[in-house]
């Protein structure tokens, strides 16, 4: 399927060849350097590299002089997590902006959704992205904060854990099923995290950043009660160096209370500090007041905002 663009070159849809996937990644790098924020989420970049999921669509816009002027991704609607909306992201190369390419890609995403609503991420909520969303008829629907703190603020030593809880690290090849079950229950109403499959987990286990020593599991009575999965980015810190991430913290709903979430958070932070990192980051929904309150009390402050816009 194709759609028109202002340059006269068509927006085309189809599976990304290895060559196109490499061009999309180069486009994302160029946008990151220009904007100071990555234009595509980790999930979309993983699909670019490893192949898009079932029902997902990849749209590319070639520039008149060769190479890519823009790229858009649309995931299939998720009736359970997103009320039937499809979720999309797009990026225009810095050298090809203000030519109507973003509007053309957003129109193609809406047409490709086949009548479903579309949710579109604007990473960093840059003025250009916000203006494009408004002009295309999208309304701001959700906000995700990135929060950061210096790891020097983390107390030395091992954190206290609630009675009956033991901590250990993840065992690749043995803990996947149990972890997926707790992750699904802990994030049952989360539009992305709770829908993870074994494939989603295995893809991340194959990534060079995956480190089971930084993946903490809490058990009570031999059963998984919660977890804290940390991540280390090779760059992105305030000084341009590596930065740690509270990648995901989850507690089984039946195990909530008693300070387990805080204990898991502190266990991961202590590990990242031992790694010699300067700073740590995390993402949290703006309206998750309990989590924002917890992270603020630990010393995190808001660094940036990703906004989601919705077109019904």
Query: Is 171 found in the same domain as 132?
Result: no
Query: Is 291 found in the same domain as 160?
Result: yes
In a domain, 142, yes or no: no
In a domain, 155, yes or no: yes
Whole-number Å distance between alpha carbons of 42 and 287:
22
What phi, psi does 23 have (nearest 5°)? Answer: -65, -40
In a domain, 159, yes or no: yes
State pLDDT tens for residues 160-178: 899 999 999 999 999 999 9
Residue that wins the pLDDT comparison between 237 and 88: 88
Domain-terminating residue out of 111, 137, 163: 137
In a domain, 54, yes or no: yes
In a domain, 177, yes or no: yes
pLDDT of 80 over the 70 cut: no
Query: Is 66 found in the same domain as 88?
Result: yes
pLDDT of 24 over the 90 cut: yes
Query: Is 191 found in the same domain as 112?
Result: no
Residue-level length of the chain: 312
In a domain, 209, yes or no: yes
Query: Is 298 found in the same domain as 176?
Result: yes
Query: Is 198 found in the same domain as 129?
Result: no
pTM, to two decimals:
0.87
List the domain range (segments joined by +) for residue 286: 147-311
State pLDDT tens for residues 111-163: 888 878 899 999 999 999 999 999 999 999 999 999 999 999 998 778 889 99
Query: Is 82 found in the same domain as 52?
Result: yes
Domain of 294, CATH number, reads 3.40.630.30
pLDDT of 20 over the 80 cut: yes
In a domain, 77, yes or no: yes
Domain-terminating residue out of 110, 137, 164: 137
State pLDDT tens for residues 34-63: 999 999 999 999 999 999 988 899 999 998
Query: Is 279 found in the same domain as 222?
Result: yes
- Predicted local distance difference test score (pLDDT) of residue 82: 53
pLDDT band at 212 (very low <50, low <70, confident <90, very high): very high
Query: Is 273 found in the same domain as 133?
Result: no
Count of domains forming the chain: 2
Domain-terminating residue out of 103, 137, 171: 137
Query: Is 52 found in the same domain as 32?
Result: yes
Query: Is 175 found in the same domain as 87?
Result: no
87-91 mean pLDDT: 95
In a domain, 23, yes or no: yes
Query: Is 122 found in the same domain as 261?
Result: no
């Amino acid at each position: 399927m194709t759609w028109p663009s202002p340059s006269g070159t068509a927006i085309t849809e189809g599976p990304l060849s290895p060559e196109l996937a490499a061009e999309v990644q180069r486009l994302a790098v160029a946008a990151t350097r220009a904007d100071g924020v990555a234009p595509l989420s980790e999930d979309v970049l993983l699909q670019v590299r490893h192949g898009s999921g079932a029902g997902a669509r990849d749209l590319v816009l070639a520039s008149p002089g060769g190479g890519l002027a823009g790229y858009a991704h649309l995931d299939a609607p998720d009736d359970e997590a997103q009320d039937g909306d499809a979720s999309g992201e797009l990026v225009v190369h810095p050298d090809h902006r203000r030519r109507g390419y973003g509007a053309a890609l957003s129109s193609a995403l809406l047409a490709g959704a086949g009548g479903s609503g579309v949710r579109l991420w604007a990473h960093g909520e840059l003025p250009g992205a916000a203006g494009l969303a408004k002009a295309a008829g999208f309304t701001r629907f959700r906000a995700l904060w990135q929060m950061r703190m210096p790891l020097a603020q983390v107390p030395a030593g091992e954190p206290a854990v609630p009675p009956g809880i033991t901590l250990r690290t993840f065992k690749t090849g043995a803990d996947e099923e149990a972890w997926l079950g707790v992750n699904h229950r802990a994030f049952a109403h989360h539009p992305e995290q709770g829908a993870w499959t074994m494939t989603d987990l295995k893809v991340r286990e194959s990534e060079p950043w995956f480190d089971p020593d930084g993946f903490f599991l809490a058990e009570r009575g031999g059963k998984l009660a919660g977890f804290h999965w940390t991540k280390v980015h090779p760059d992105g810190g305030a000084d341009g160096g590596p930065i740690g991430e509270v990648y995901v913290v989850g507690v089984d709903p039946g195990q909530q209370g008693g300070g387990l979430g805080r204990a898991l958070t502190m266990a991961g932070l202590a590990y990242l500090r031992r790694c010699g990192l300067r700073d740590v980051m995390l993402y949290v929904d703006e309206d998750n007041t309990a989590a924002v309150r917890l992270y603020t009390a630990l010393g995190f402050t808001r660094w940036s905002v990703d906004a989601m816009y919705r077109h019904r």
